[in-house]
Amino acid sequence: MDEPQYGPWGMVTPTFWHGAAASDDPSTPADADSVRTRLAAIPALVAAERPGDASALAEEIDRELTSAGREHTMDIVDVREVRGYLAHLLGDHSTAVGWYLHAVRLRAGLQGPTHPDTVQAARRAYSLWRTVPSPDARRLGPELLAAVTDIHGPEATVTRRTRERLAALVENA
């Protein structure tokens, strides 16, 4: 007879391996499939020129995941990066860069700084920052530079490019 397996979350049951069934209770936080389905609805809201509604949906998903204690999961990373993109669409550059940097830091903690997804997230943060108007970019650049330096090191491509772009922005101010 097999011994039960225990982890910090309790006894591993067949539900653990096959995924828990979605609850009918609306106060129950969304499961991973629900999160993905709801995140997939966001581009349609943006395409319908409803970025405020898309942002509200992303915030709702974030709140549910947070209240469920899922703040250190890949689901929350995805939601927070989406929130950054939506903040950018709404013209809130400071919030947008902040969410992207938060997502990069979470990825680095969950997947490691050299994981391809973390590297790509840092590139996305850099690319987003490059689209920010110069006054905001100058103000937000040092935070981005500190984050990519901490995560990827002072000689990484994304760090070097951020440093060069920030120096050019300061020089042209």
Which of 31-35, 39-43, 103-107, 119-123 is least confident?
A: 31-35
Q: Could you report the per-residue pLDDT of 141-159, keeping only the tens digit for each?
A: 999 999 999 988 999 998 9
Share of the chain above pLDDT 70, in %: 82
55: closest CA among 85, 34, 78, 86?
Answer: 86
Alpha carbon distances (Å) from 113 to 1, 50, 82, 155, 160 = 42, 35, 20, 14, 16
As a residue count, the chain comes to: 173
Cα angle value 68/51/49 (rounded, 5°): 145
Give the pLDDT of residue 16. Answer: 41
Give the pLDDT of residue 36. Answer: 87
On the question of pLDDT at 81 being above 70, the answer is yes
Give the pLDDT of residue 11. Answer: 44
On the question of pLDDT at 160 being above 80, the answer is yes
Give the pLDDT of residue 26. Answer: 38
Distance CA 26, CA 10 (A): 24
Higher-confidence residue: 121 or 3? Answer: 121
- Bridge partners (DSSP) of residue 10 are 7
Distance CA 168, CA 129 (A): 14
Q: What is the pTM assigned to this prediction? A: 0.75
Higher-confidence residue: 93 or 2? Answer: 93
Average pLDDT over residues 87-100: 92
Provide CB contacts within 8 A for 34, sequence distance 6+: 22
